[in-house]
Amino acid sequence: MSIFLVGLNHKTAPVEVRERLAFSDAACGESLRALVDGELVREGLIVSTCNRVEVLAASAGPQAPDAVGRLSDFLSRVRSVPVELFSGHLYTHADEAAVRHVFRVASSLDSMVVGEPQVLGQVRHAYSLAVEAGTAGRVLHKLVHHALRVAKRVRTETGIAASAVSVSYTAVELGRKIFGSLKGATVLLVGAGEMAELAAQHLAGAGASRLLVTNRTYETAQRLALAFGGEALEFPALEEALAQADVVICSTGARDFLITPEMAERARAARRNRPAFYIDISVPRNVDPAVAKIGNLFVFDVDDLEAVVASNLREREREAERAELIVEAEVTQFQQALRDLDIGPTVGALKEKLQRIARDEFERQRARLGPLTPEQERAIEALLMSTVNKISHPVIHRMRRSYDAGEEGEVQAWRDVFGLEERGGDR
Amino acid sequence: MKPFLYAALAGYVIAATHAVLSFVNKRRASERLTLYAAAFGFAAHTGSIIFDWARDGHYPLFSTTDALSFLAWTLVVAYFLVTFRYPLRALGAFLLPAVALVVLGSQLVSPDPGKVPSSVTGGSGSWLFPVHVTLLLFGYASFFVAFAASVMYLWQERELRLKKFSAVFHRLPSLTTVDDVASTAASVGFTLLTLGIVTGVIWSRARSVRMFHNDPTEFFALLTWVVYLALLHFRVQWRGRKAAWLGVGGFTLVLCTFAGAIALGGFHVFR
């Protein structure tokens, strides 16, 4: 039995190619049924997202080379795209490499932004489509379930998805670091701008309950307040608003500092020293850097936030290395499980049969041996079992070797020699 | 009961190792193991204290060994109370190694003195002495929690100011949480310290008429009391960094108090 995979992703193929090969859910099921013929390809699954199109298949034998050719022909046929157009962008993986790839994709190690959470859901969705189409068999069941487990392990045991990788989300993250929870926090938006609005939205999403908006032109403030469900304030009320705000987001086109250390100091005193978080997204800056020197006030400008994003990305890369180790260990484990999935019952049946023969013979001759002490009885039992094991050991070894080499015919021959039924076969 | 105490020590060492591991490596499995090992150690430790009590026929708090062991026990109580109430698992990485060290230390200091002078166990108001020591040891445990939380505060505050975040930064709870824990622990500790000092003074008066003996422990205890009083009084103005520094400074004095009892000699040593 072997697993193979053909696909392309954001790294290997431009969007013009990816979009032509992408599958809709409906097309997916139909194509899967066309792919699985019960001969060469026994099981199939298609992952199709905006960043990747991958066809995963399991076959009975180790015919990976023709299978790969078959899969690209299949892609070309069902999507009506000539092979030449995408063959240069394809990657192909067989067996262990295919398993590794699936684990890496599910764990978001192969994603554009490493650690992003969507891909796991996409893999799960692809699997449910294959289950619906009836093209997921015991190999893919096992593979996908294992992949989901690996993804979960990677998420909980590494910090791969721990930190924010966008400026606006970083603002939320830092807010959480300072306030613990943003529930009930008051956010003050000074000026408007795409990034500031996005940050305000994220903060509201994280539980901030009150939004104050002020702007040089009061109408703009009113418009924003209406859009986000906040309160508009006249611009001169800025200082009063500072005293109420836990988070202040500045993004105006002012040429000089709007928030001076004196203002911030007065606001801090009015807030009885509760911490405040100033996010200054404007260039030139609106918050005097001297404000950062005041205790319990934390000021981050655009460069600071971007530096945090960059360091978070580096942190993710570092954590990804640890994740790769987890994936590697799990691949080995899965390969072992897969081997046992197939050869296990045969080995068990063989041992059981030989042992039964030995025991039956012993029972038949038992009467002639006369009375035996328990020690003698145990000695005979041990003698029989070790003889059986010594005889069956090289046979089992050969069987495993044939199985690992994919020589199913050979394995079947051994089964025939010992008169074993094939158990736990394809469902 | 030595076997119980050794079992407790083993539990604490395992818990401490895994607390540090989970702090550095973020492993859920280690977090669980930390909790189980600490709970096991705590159970064994409790057993050991009860057995000692039953064997000696008096509250087991008269020798340095007993006092250290009991201090470790109060620290574990504090650990469970805090982690139960606050999302502050990281505390284990600070507190559990300290617990393991204190238990180990309790076995390394001079062996049990055997007999406790009757001047301590007997006499009028003798029931006050265990109360006095118990209150103070629980107070010290609270101060340790305040200290650990203050260190976490300062560490993170520094990184926030420098805008450079280490891996550890992401494992620590928010500033508000640690500030909250530090101030709650400091006020609990302060209350216990006050009661401890008061019972000590009353006991001392009942026994020997003198209220103070001018030994280092008394001196440091009073100094500590003043520092924490200031900390709590200026709580609002000094929220944040200053309060955290005071939490660290106050704990240094607590260490002096305790070391005073052991190292500097004086009235507070019964050996």
- Show the domains of chain A with their CATH numbers: 2-157 (3.30.460.30), 167-310 (3.40.50.720), 337-427 (no CATH)
Span A5-29, average pLDDT:
89
The answer, yes or no, to whether the previous bond of B117 is cis (omega within 30 of 0) is no
Are B86 and B99 within 8 A, CB to CB?
A: no
Angle at A370 between CA A365 and CA A375, to 5 degrees: 95
Which strands form A210-214's sheet, in the order they lie side by side?
A: A231-233, A210-214, A186-190, A247-250, A276-280, A297-301
Does the CA dihedral B32-B34-B35-B36 come out positive or negative?
positive
Query: What is the predicted pLDDT for the residue at B270?
Result: 45
Which of A162, A179, A304 is opposite residue B174, by nearest beta carbon? A179
Are A153 and A261 within 8 A, CB to CB?
A: no
Query: What is the predicted pLDDT for the residue at B271?
Result: 34
Query: What is the predicted pLDDT for the residue at B237?
Result: 67
Residue B204 pLDDT exceeds 70: yes
Query: What is the predicted pLDDT for the residue at A8?
Result: 92
Nearest alpha-carbon partner for B186 in B229, B137, B221: B229
The residue of chain A nearest to residue B27, with distances taken between CA atoms, is: A157
Query: What is the predicted pLDDT for the residue at A149?
Result: 94
Q: Are B175 and A178 within 8 A, CB to CB?
A: yes
Residue type, B193: L
B167 touches chain A (CB under 8 A): yes
Which of B27, B236, B242 is opposite residue A272, by nearest beta carbon? B236
Residue A358: CB atoms within 10 A of its CB come to 18
The per-residue pLDDT for range A374-405, each reduced to its tens digit, is: 888 889 889 998 999 898 888 888 887 777 66
Are A114 and A33 within 8 A, CB to CB?
A: no
Are A213 and A230 within 8 A, CB to CB?
A: yes
- What pLDDT band is residue A54 in, cutting at 50, 70 and 90? very high
Span B256-271, average pLDDT:
58
Query: What is the predicted pLDDT for the residue at A282?
Result: 84
Are A312 and A170 within 8 A, CB to CB?
A: yes
Residue listed under structure tokens 């593979």: A143
Q: Are B241 and A298 within 8 A, CB to CB?
A: no
Residue B98 pLDDT exceeds 50: yes
Span A174-198, average pLDDT:
85
The residue of chain A nearest to residue B167, with distances taken between CA atoms, is: A315
B chain contacts of residue A323, beta-carbon cutoff 8 Å = none
The residue of chain A nearest to residue B178, with distances taken between CA atoms, is: A180
A159 touches chain B (CB under 8 A): yes
A chain contacts of residue B160, beta-carbon cutoff 8 Å = 174, 177-178, 298
CA distance B160 to chain A (A): 7
Residue A26 pLDDT exceeds 60: yes
CA distance A260 to chain B (A): 18
CB burial string A224-260: b at 16+ within 10 A, e below: bbeeeebebbebeebeebbbebbbbbbbbeeeebbbe
Which of B161, B176, B237 is opposite residue A273, by nearest beta carbon? B237
> For every residue of chain A, which 3-state class applies, written as one string?
CEEEEEEEECCCCCHHHHHHHCCCHHHHHHHHHHHCCCCCEEEEEEEECCCEEEEEEEECCCCHHHHHHHHHHHHHHHHCCCHHHHHCCCEEEECHHHHHHHHHHHCCCCCCCCCCCHHHHHHHHHHHHHHHHCCCCHHHHHHHHHHHHHHHHHHHHCCCCCCCCCHHHHHHHHHHHHHCCCCCCEEEEECCCHHHHHHHHHHHHCCCCEEEEECCCHHHHHHHHHHHCCEEECHHHHHHHHHHCCEEEECCCCCCCCECHHHHHHHHHHCCCCCEEEEECCCCCCECHHHHHCCCEEEEEHHHHHHHHHHHHHHHHHHHHHHHHHHHHHHHHHHHHHHHHHHHHHHHHHHHHHHHHHHHHHHHHHHHHCCCCHHHHHHHHHHHHHHHHHHHHHHHHHHHHHHHCCCHHHHHHHHHHCCCCCCCCCC
CA distance B163 to chain A (A): 7
B chain contacts of residue A307, beta-carbon cutoff 8 Å = 163
CA distance A274 to chain B (A): 7
Residue A366 pLDDT exceeds 70: yes
A130 Cα distance to chain centroid: 19
The per-residue pLDDT for range B141-198, each reduced to its tens digit, is: 999 999 999 999 998 888 888 888 777 777 788 888 888 888 889 889 999 989 988 8
> For every residue of chain B, which 3-state class applies, written as one string?
CHHHHHHHHHHHHHHHHHHHHHHHHCCHHHHHHHHHHHHHHHHHHHHHHHHHHHHHCCCCCCCHHHHHHHHHHHHHHHHHHHHHHCCCCCHHHHHHHHHHHHHHHHHHCCCCCCCCCHHHHCCCCCCHHHHHHHHHHHHHHHHHHHHHHHHHHHHHHHHHHHCCCCHHHHHCCCHHHHHHHHHHHHHHHHHHHHHHHHHHHHHHHHHHCCCCCCCHHHHHHHHHHHHHHHHHHCCCCCCCHHHHHHHHHHHHHHHHHHHHHHCCCCCCCCC
CA distance B121 to B59: 9
B183 touches chain A (CB under 8 A): no
Are B150 and B184 within 8 A, CB to CB?
A: no
CA distance B120 to B137: 18
Q: Are B242 and A295 within 8 A, CB to CB?
A: yes
Whether A50 is catalytic is yes
Percentage of chain A beyond pLDDT 90 is: 20
Give me the phi and psi of A54, to 5 degrees please.
-135, 140
Residue A210 pLDDT exceeds 60: yes
Cβ-Cβ pairs closer than 8 A, A with B, add up to 62
CA distance B192 to chain A (A): 27
CA distance A99 to chain B (A): 25
Query: What is the predicted pLDDT for the residue at A207?
Result: 85
The per-residue pLDDT for range A229-247, each reduced to its tens digit, is: 888 888 888 888 898 999 9
Query: What is the predicted pLDDT for the residue at A86?
Result: 87
Nearest alpha-carbon partner for B225 in B161, B135, B151, B149: B135
Which of A273, A292, A311 is opposite residue B239, by nearest beta carbon? A273
Query: What is the predicted pLDDT for the residue at A156?
Result: 85
Residue A299 pLDDT exceeds 80: yes
Are A72 and A7 within 8 A, CB to CB?
A: no
Token pair in block for residue B91: 């505390």
Residue type, B175: L
Provide the mean pLDDT of chain A: 85
Q: Are A158 and B26 within 8 A, CB to CB?
A: yes
Query: What is the predicted pLDDT for the residue at A427?
Result: 32
Which of A174, A179, A295 is opposite residue B240, by nearest beta carbon? A295
Are A191 and A286 within 8 A, CB to CB?
A: yes
Residue A146 pLDDT exceeds 90: yes
Are A408 and A60 within 8 A, CB to CB?
A: yes
Judged by average pLDDT, the poorest of A60-64, B16-20, B169-173 is: A60-64
Residue spans per domain, chain B: 1-112, 117-271
Judged by average pLDDT, the poorest of A40-49, A408-417, B144-153, B244-253 is: A408-417
Are A422 and A346 within 8 A, CB to CB?
A: yes
The per-residue pLDDT for range B101-134, each reduced to its tens digit, is: 988 888 887 655 544 555 555 555 667 777 888 8
The residue of chain A nearest to residue B175, with distances taken between CA atoms, is: A178
Residue A340 pLDDT exceeds 70: no
CA distance B146 to B153: 10
Residue A64 pLDDT exceeds 60: no
Q: Are A273 and B240 within 8 A, CB to CB?
A: yes
B165 touches chain A (CB under 8 A): yes
Query: What is the predicted pLDDT for the residue at A426?
Result: 37
Span A293-303, average pLDDT:
87
Residue B267 pLDDT exceeds 60: no
Residue type, A297: L
Q: Do the strands A52-59 and A231-233 form a parallel or antiparallel pair, or are they unpaired? A: unpaired
Residue type, B89: R
- What pLDDT band is residue A423 in, cutting at 50, 70 and 90? very low
Query: What is the predicted pLDDT for the residue at A160?
Result: 85
Which of B175, B237, B239 is opposite residue A177, by nearest beta carbon? B175
First to last CA, chain B: 20
Give me the phi and psi of B58, to 5 degrees please.
-145, 165
Does the CA dihedral B5-B6-B12-B16 come out positive or negative?
positive
Q: Are A178 and B177 within 8 A, CB to CB?
A: no
Are B111 and B2 within 8 A, CB to CB?
A: no
A chain contacts of residue B237, beta-carbon cutoff 8 Å = 273
Q: Are A156 and B238 within 8 A, CB to CB?
A: no
Residue A62 pLDDT exceeds 70: no
Query: What is the predicted pLDDT for the residue at A341?
Result: 66
Between B254 and B185, name the one with better pLDDT.
B185
Given A50, A112, A357, A383, the catalytic residue = A50
Query: What is the predicted pLDDT for the residue at A406?
Result: 62
Judged by average pLDDT, the poorest of A208-222, B204-218, B244-258 is: B204-218
A177 touches chain B (CB under 8 A): yes
The per-residue pLDDT for range A191-208, each reduced to its tens digit, is: 877 777 888 888 888 888
List, in order, residues 6 or more apart from A245 with CB less than 8 Å away.
A186, A187, A188, A212, A267, A276
Q: Are B26 and A274 within 8 A, CB to CB?
A: no
- Supply the ipTM of this predicted assembly: 0.77
A chain contacts of residue B30, beta-carbon cutoff 8 Å = none
Residue B23 pLDDT exceeds 80: yes
